[in-house]
Structure 1
Amino acid sequence: MNKSFSLSRRRFLLTATASTFGTLVLHGCTQSQSQSAVSQSAAANGLETTTVALGFLPVVDCAPLVVAKEKGFFAKYGMTDVRLAKQPSWAALRDNVELGSSGGGIDGGQFQSPIPELISEGIITKGNEIIPMYTLARLNTHSVGISLASKYQDLRVTKDSSSLKQTFAQAKAANQPLKCAITFPRSSIDLWLHYWLAAGGIDPTSEASILVVPPAQVVSNLKRGTMDLFCATDPWNSRLVNEGAGFTAATSGEIWKNHPEKAFAMRAEWVDRHPKATIALLQAILEAQQWCDQPEHHRELAALLVKPDYTNAPLAAIEGRLSGRFDYGDGRVVNDPSLAVRFWSNGDVSISYPFKSHDLWFLVENLRWGKIPADLDLQAIVNRTNRDDLWKEAAKQIGVPTAQIPTRSSRGVETFFDGIQFDPDNPQAYLQSLKIRRM
Structure 2
Amino acid sequence: MTNLAPTLAPTALCPRCGKTHLSLDSVSQTRRDHHPFWIDCPTNPVDWLEEQVKLGLQPPSVFKVAQDQMEEEMRQALLVEKIAGNDPETTRWVQELIRQAGGFDAAFRAAFGEKATQLAQDSQQRYPLSRRKFIQNLLIGAMLVTLANCGEATLSEDEDSLAQRRLEKTHLKIAFLPIACATPIVIAQPLGFYEKHGLTVELVKMNSWPELRDAAIAGEFDAYHMLSPMPLAMSLGLGSQATAIRLASIENNNGNAIVVALRHRERIQGAADFNGFRIAVPYIYSMHNLLLRYYLAAGGVHPDREVEIVVASPMAALEELRNGSIDAMLVAEPFNQLAVDQNIGFIHLLSQELWAGHPCCSFTASKAWIDEYPSTFRAVNKAIIESAYYTRRSENRREAAQAVAGAEYLNVSPTALESVFTGQFEDGLGNRRNVPNRIDFDPYPWKSFSYWMTTQFKRWGFLSDPNIDHEDIADEVFMTALARQLSKQLGQNPPTLIMRIEDLKYDRFDPTNPPEYLTRQLERFEF
TM-score (norm 1): 0.79
For residues 172 and 221 of structure 2, the distance between their equivalents in structure 1, rounded to whole angstroms, comes to: 8
Q: 1:383 aligns with which of 475, 479, 500?
A: 475
Classify the secondary structure of the residue corresponding to 1:155. coil
The percent of aligned pairs where both chains have the same amino acid is 30
| 8 Å CA contact 1:117, 1:381 repeated in 2 | yes
Q: Find out whether 1:265 has 2:364 as its counterpart.
A: yes
> Displacement of 1:113 after TM fit?
2.0
Q: Find out whether 1:427 has 2:526 as its counterpart.
A: no
Classify the secondary structure of the residue corresponding to 1:313. coil
For residues 253 and 123 of structure 1, the distance between their equivalents in structure 2, rounded to whole angstroms, comes to: 26
Q: 1:239 aligns with which of 315, 331, 338?
A: 338
Residue in structure 2 matched with residue 149 of structure 1 by the alignment: 261
Q: Find out whether 1:117 has 2:237 as its counterpart.
A: no
| 8 Å CA contact 2:238, 2:462 repeated in 1 | no
Q: CA RMSD in A?
A: 1.8
For residues 415 and 393 of structure 1, the distance between their equivalents in structure 2, rounded to whole angstroms, comes to: 26
Residue in structure 2 matched with residue 415 of structure 1 by the alignment: 503
For residues 424 and 319 of structure 1, the distance between their equivalents in structure 2, rounded to whole angstroms, comes to: 35
| 8 Å CA contact 1:89, 1:215 repeated in 2 | no
| 8 Å CA contact 1:279, 1:393 repeated in 2 | no
Classify the secondary structure of the residue corresponding to 1:297. helix
Counterpart amino acid of 1:190? N
For residues 229 and 525 of structure 2, the distance between their equivalents in structure 1, rounded to whole angstroms, comes to: 21
Change (3 A) 1:326 1:89: same
- Structure 2 unaligned spans of 5+: 1-160
TM-score (norm 2): 0.67
Q: How does 1:313-352 map to 2 (within 5 A)?
A: 313-337=412-436, 339-343=437-441, 351-352=442-443
| 8 Å CA contact 1:144, 1:252 repeated in 2 | yes
For residues 241 and 373 of structure 1, the distance between their equivalents in structure 2, rounded to whole angstroms, comes to: 39
| 8 Å CA contact 2:470, 2:514 repeated in 1 | no
Q: 2:196 aligns with which of 60, 71, 76?
A: 76
Counterpart amino acid of 2:178? P
> Displacement of 1:327 after TM fit?
1.7
For residues 83 and 180 of structure 1, the distance between their equivalents in structure 2, rounded to whole angstroms, comes to: 34
Counterpart amino acid of 1:153? R
Counterpart amino acid of 2:202? R
Greater length-normalized contact order (CA 8 Å, ≥ 6 residues apart): 1
Residue in structure 1 matched with residue 449 of structure 2 by the alignment: 358
Cα-to-partner distance string for 1:185-240 (whole Å, 9 max, x where unaligned): 02111111111111222111110111111221011101111111111011110011
Query: Which one has the largest radius of gyration?
Result: 2
Classify the secondary structure of the residue corresponding to 2:214. helix
Residue in structure 2 matched with residue 31 of structure 1 by the alignment: none
| 8 Å CA contact 2:197, 2:380 repeated in 1 | yes
Q: How does 1:21-420 map to 2 (within 5 A)?
A: 45-80=165-200, 82-100=201-219, 105-125=220-240, 128=241, 130-157=242-269, 160-162=270-272, 164=273, 168=275, 177-337=276-436, 339-343=437-441, 351-375=442-466, 376-400=468-492, 404-411=493-500, 413-418=501-506, 420=507
| 8 Å CA contact 2:448, 2:502 repeated in 1 | no
For residues 245 and 450 of structure 2, the distance between their equivalents in structure 1, rounded to whole angstroms, comes to: 13
Q: Between Structure 1 and Structure 2, which shows a larger proportion of helix residues?
A: 2
> Displacement of 1:336 after TM fit?
2.2
> Displacement of 1:70 after TM fit?
1.2
> Displacement of 1:116 after TM fit?
0.5
For residues 279 and 428 of structure 1, the distance between their equivalents in structure 2, rounded to whole angstroms, comes to: 34
Count residues in correspondence: 364
> Displacement of 1:381 after TM fit?
1.3
Counterpart amino acid of 2:365? M
> Displacement of 1:370 after TM fit?
0.9
| 8 Å CA contact 1:292, 1:301 repeated in 2 | yes
Cα-to-partner distance string for 1:299-357 (whole Å, 9 max, x where unaligned): 221112211122211112100111111321012321122x33111xxxxxxx2111111
Counterpart amino acid of 2:294? Y
> Displacement of 1:42 after TM fit?
10
Classify the secondary structure of the residue corresponding to 1:394. helix
For residues 142 and 416 of structure 1, the distance between their equivalents in structure 2, rounded to whole angstroms, comes to: 12
Change (3 A) 1:365 1:409: same
For residues 513 and 255 of structure 2, the distance between their equivalents in structure 1, rounded to whole angstroms, comes to: 28
Change (3 A) 1:304 1:44: closer
Cα-to-partner distance string for 1:374-430 (whole Å, 9 max, x where unaligned): 322232111111111221232232222xxx22222102x211122x11110111221
Counterpart amino acid of 1:340? R
Counterpart amino acid of 1:341? I
Q: Find out whether 1:436 has 2:436 as its counterpart.
A: no
| 8 Å CA contact 2:194, 2:383 repeated in 1 | yes
> Displacement of 1:44 after TM fit?
6.2
Classify the secondary structure of the residue corresponding to 1:154. coil
Classify the secondary structure of the residue corresponding to 1:139. strand
For residues 301 and 266 of structure 1, the distance between their equivalents in structure 2, rounded to whole angstroms, comes to: 25
Cα-to-partner distance string for 1:251-284 (whole Å, 9 max, x where unaligned): 1111111112211111111111111111111221
For residues 397 and 475 of structure 2, the distance between their equivalents in structure 1, rounded to whole angstroms, comes to: 35
Change (3 A) 1:42 1:94: farther
For residues 298 and 45 of structure 1, the distance between their equivalents in structure 2, rounded to whole angstroms, comes to: 33
- Structure 1 unaligned spans of 5+: 1-40, 169-176, 344-350
Counterpart amino acid of 2:497? R
Counterpart amino acid of 1:86? K
For residues 446 and 287 of structure 2, the distance between their equivalents in structure 1, rounded to whole angstroms, comes to: 15
Change (3 A) 1:249 1:44: closer
